[in-house]
Amino acid sequence: MLQSALMNVMVKAARRAGRSLKRDLGEIENLQVSMKGPANFVTMADKRSEEILYTDLTKARPGYGFIGEEGGLREGADKTHTWIVDPLDGTTNFLHGIPQFAISIGLLREGVIIAGLIYNPANEELYTAERGKGAFLNDTRLRVANRKQLNDCVIACGLPHIGRGNHELSRQEMTALQPKVAGLRRFGAASLDLAYVAAGRLDGYWERNLQQWDIAAGIVMIREAGGVVSDIQGRDVDALATGNVVCGNEAVHDQLVKILKPLK
Ligand code: IPD
Ligand code: CA
Ligand code: CA
């Protein structure tokens, strides 16, 4: 696969941040049994990853703006381009030593997501996509799954935990979907859920109350793999404003929207 200069920059930055996260994951195993636990250490790992990404991306593309989960917005002179970065998506998994976490980098140009990268350093899975150029897992071109009947489909979701989201609404969603699907999954890293839909591993995914850095890269990934992604009301997600997503191939996406949209 011939990689563009832009994607090269993104991959290099992600691999360096990934090495840092992987080293830190090793430490986590030791900290599980300590009195204080690994929480503070994870916060540091998260920040270290973001600083590597900020340094490398800004060095390669001076002037681009940068929005990171940890540091917020750092404006650049070029107002047309902004990186949208989650330096560690799946923090709870990471904290528990569960190797389902990722670095997520999206690039926004004048309000449109033009490139995305999602990288899990624990298993070396690197997902990349550029607008109009397809989506890839390492060197393999991605395509969303073709299943059309919900009862054949495995669908992932988010589950709000203590102090987050609307638990009652989440239970309503489960009640509506459980009897209709082959399986429901909750993996705990939104960026990878989106990447798995692009890769055809999952047939669909939905989640509410996400942030732009959870979904920016995944949105272009799904589209470039031939899938459809919108918010739960069925509206465009390029603005990254609502933080709700639902995706799949067109048939699965539409059925999920039909079921989820009326729930309040
Ligand atoms: C979280 C993960 C999780 C999702 C949460 C996100 P974080 O991101 O993506 O899967 O359910 O809503 O906040 O906090 O681990 O970066
Ligand atoms: Ca996240
Ligand atoms: Ca995060």
- Per residue in 165-181, pLDDT (tens digit) is 999 999 999 999 999 99
Ligand 1 site, residue 89, Cβ cutoff 6 A: yes
- C-beta of residue 245 within 8 angstroms of C-beta of residue 215: yes
Q: Which ligand approaches the C-alpha of residue 192 most closely?
A: 1
Pairing assessment for the beta strands 64-68 and 78-89 based on DSSP bridges:
parallel
pLDDT at 179: 97
- C-beta of residue 91 within 8 angstroms of C-beta of residue 50: no
Ligand 1 site, residue 90, Cβ cutoff 6 A: yes
Pairing assessment for the beta strands 140-141 and 134-137 based on DSSP bridges:
antiparallel
**Ligand 1 mean position, distance from CA 94 (Å):** 11
- What length is written for the chain? 264
**Ligand 2 mean position, distance from CA 190 (Å):** 7
Which of 89, 100, 170 for mutating ligand 1's site (highest number of atoms within 8 Å of CB)? 89
Looking at the CA of residue 214, tell me the nearest atom of ligand 1.
9
Residues of the chain with pLDDT under 70: 1, 32-37
pLDDT at 30: 74
Q: Which domains does the chain have, with CATH numbers?
A: 5-141 (3.30.540.10), 150-260 (3.40.190.80)
pLDDT at 27: 85
pLDDT at 36: 65
Ligand 1 site, residue 70, Cβ cutoff 6 A: no
Three-state secondary structure call for residue 203: coil
**Ligand 3 mean position, distance from CA 210 (Å):** 11
pLDDT at 236: 87
Ligand 1 site, residue 190, Cβ cutoff 6 A: yes
pLDDT at 35: 61
Ligand 1 site, residue 189, Cβ cutoff 6 A: yes
pLDDT at 123: 97
Element holding 119 (H helix, E strand): strand 112-120
pLDDT at 28: 83
- C-beta of residue 183 within 8 angstroms of C-beta of residue 154: yes
Judge residue 124's burial from the number of C-beta atoms within 10 Å of its C-beta, 0-12 exposed, 13-18 middle, 19 or more buried. Answer: exposed
Looking at the CA of residue 210, tell me the nearest atom of ligand 1.
12
**Ligand 2 mean position, distance from CA 85 (Å):** 9
Ligand 1 site, residue 86, Cβ cutoff 6 A: yes
Give the type of residue at 229: V
Ligand 1 site, residue 24, Cβ cutoff 6 A: no
pLDDT at 37: 67
